Amino acid sequence: HAAGILGLRCQLGQPVACGARDGVAVSAVRLCASARLIVEATAQNGRHAAAVIQRALATLDKAAMLARSLDDIDSTGIPPEIK
């Protein structure tokens, strides 16, 4: 599963500051949704929307996996669970 997620090509936007919660700065990450993705999601009465959403969720899974692995990634750039 991890190898499949890491092989996923995706784009994330810059973090956006959202204020603070309990004195800790909170931010969000924007997903890039191109016109092509919007057309794909709405084609055939929205039948492809679930697939587009699933790819977006996989992108977030990839970002989370990479964030958890930052301290473990060596000079190859490959997280240890993939080697």
Least confident of 6-20, 35-49, 51-65, 68-82: 68-82
* 42: in domain: yes
Residue 44 lies in domain: 2-69
Q: How far apart are CA 23 and CA 74, in angstroms?
A: 33
* 6: in domain: yes
How many percent of the chain have pLDDT more than 70?
86
55: enclosing H helix or E strand: helix 49-69
* 81: in domain: no
For 49-77, write each residue's pLDDT tens digit: 999 999 889 988 988 888 887 777 666 66
The pTM of this model reads: 0.66
* 75: in domain: no
- In the predicted model, is pLDDT for residue 44 greater than 60? yes
* 33: in domain: yes
* 9: in domain: yes
pLDDT of residue 80: 62
* Structural domains in the chain (count): 1
* 77: in domain: no
